Amino acid sequence: RDTIGQSSHAKGKHIDSFRTIPFDKWLRLFIQYAFIVAKRDEFDYAVEILRHASWSNALQARESQDSIRFAIITCAIHGNRYPVAVEQSRKLINIHQFNNEAFRILLASVGHGMHATDAFLASTLSKHLLRELKTADAAFRNKDSLKWNNVTKRYAPTGSSSKADDEDDDEVAIGVPEESGKGAQQTQKPNLPTKRNPMGVAVYGQICLAARSYQSALFYLLHAYEYCPQDPMICLCLAIASVGRAMQRPADNRHHLVTQGLAFLAKYRKIRGEDMEHLDEVEYNFGRAFHQLGLLTHAARHYEQALEIAEKRMREDDQDYGMAQTAAYNLSLIYATTGSTPKAQSLYRRWLSL
């Protein structure tokens, strides 16, 4: 890579190929090879290939670096290495400051499974997101309280850095070279936010929710609801947090929390139920809430409605189960605990058998 950089300066022009092959095609080759290696369950070798590619001067353009990180996240998900996926998502959040897409990539990369939840609950991630929330809040309240750092290519509050924060930032920055090659001159300052953003506080509230810290989850999710009251996911998360808090021993007013949870569920149904494709999801979530509260009769009715909706949908597409299997499993638990064994066995045969 040094030879390429030296010859580029010597000739006074920019080099965009090696052995007549453009750099973007080389990058595509490296990523495809890494995917093949990852499919053979050689995850460490695949990530090593991609990390070496990220250090090349020829691939320092932001688009190339983003592509490499997306590829590492893909390999990490395939290999169930969710901490690696979270690490790369944090790098994307750092690079694309005040951009919601990086948060969406983080949530998509830890979308299922207990191992993904454990990675989502990492203390480094929660501290990192909390600092992002403080920075975004400072940007909205007083833009003069932020300064641009030419080294990290980010805005940061003036005089607010601490040793712990620096250590966390250094951990995220491992393996991220300073941009000095192709595309480095294209780095632009991100636009400062002009209004409140529900994404960051909603994600942090979901971390509290996954950790069963329902009181803290309610605090952050209510802020997100204030910023965006028509988002069905925020309403659903608030309902889960309210019901979860009501089931805890130190709850101040259980009836109030249950009523609040059902109110948010009702608003979630009003927003989400406008689309006929999501009716089974709405019915399942209502059934799950009543199931947690011990109101088994109401829960069974909603689970049955979810199964009826799935039956109608499968007449058009026999592979579109939707929430049917999960609803059938929960309904079978209710039947088994109430002594309706034949009904439970019927559900096993219809929905839970290969």
DSSP β-bridge partners for residue 156: 147
| From the candidate CATH numbers 2.40.10.480, 3.40.50.300, 2.120.10.30, 1.25.40.10, the one assigned to the domain spanning 198-351 | 1.25.40.10
pLDDT range class, residue 176, cuts 50, 70, 90: very low
Q: Is pLDDT at 289 greater than 80 in this prediction?
A: yes
Least confident of 96-100, 112-116, 319-323: 319-323
DSSP β-bridge partners for residue 22: 17
- CB neighbourhood size of 167 (10 A): 10
User: Which has the closest alpha carbon to 258: 272, 270, 241?
Assistant: 241
Sequence ranges of the domains in the chain: 2-186, 198-351
Assign 173 to helix, strand or coil: helix
Backbone angles phi, psi at 154, to 5 degrees: -145, 155
R_g (Cα) of the chain, nearest Å: 25
Q: What per-residue string of b and e applies to 68-96 under the rule 16 or more CB within 10 Å gives b?
A: bbbbbbbbbbebebbbbbbbbbbbbbbbb
Residues 72-91: tens digit of each pLDDT: 999 999 999 999 999 999 99
Assign 149 to helix, strand or coil: strand
pLDDT at 16 (0 to 100): 80
Contact partners, residue 30, CB within 8 Å, separation at least 6: 49, 50, 53
Residues 157-173: tens digit of each pLDDT: 886 554 545 455 555 54
Tell me whether residue 257 is exposed, middle or buried, using C-beta atoms within 10 angstroms of its C-beta: 0 to 12, 13 to 18, 19 or more. buried
pLDDT at 322 (0 to 100): 86
pLDDT at 250 (0 to 100): 86
As a whole number, mean pLDDT of residues 257-263 equals 97
pLDDT at 205 (0 to 100): 96
DSSP β-bridge partners for residue 21: 18
Give the whole-angstrom CA distance, residue 253 versus residue 245: 10
User: Which has the closest alpha carbon to 96: 195, 171, 199?
Assistant: 199
Q: Is pLDDT at 44 greater than 80 in this prediction?
A: yes
- The first and second tokens of residue 35, run together, are 């995917």
- The first and second tokens of residue 189, run together, are 């300052």
Residues 202-211: tens digit of each pLDDT: 999 999 999 9
pLDDT at 2 (0 to 100): 53
> Terminus-to-terminus CA distance in the chain, angstroms?
54
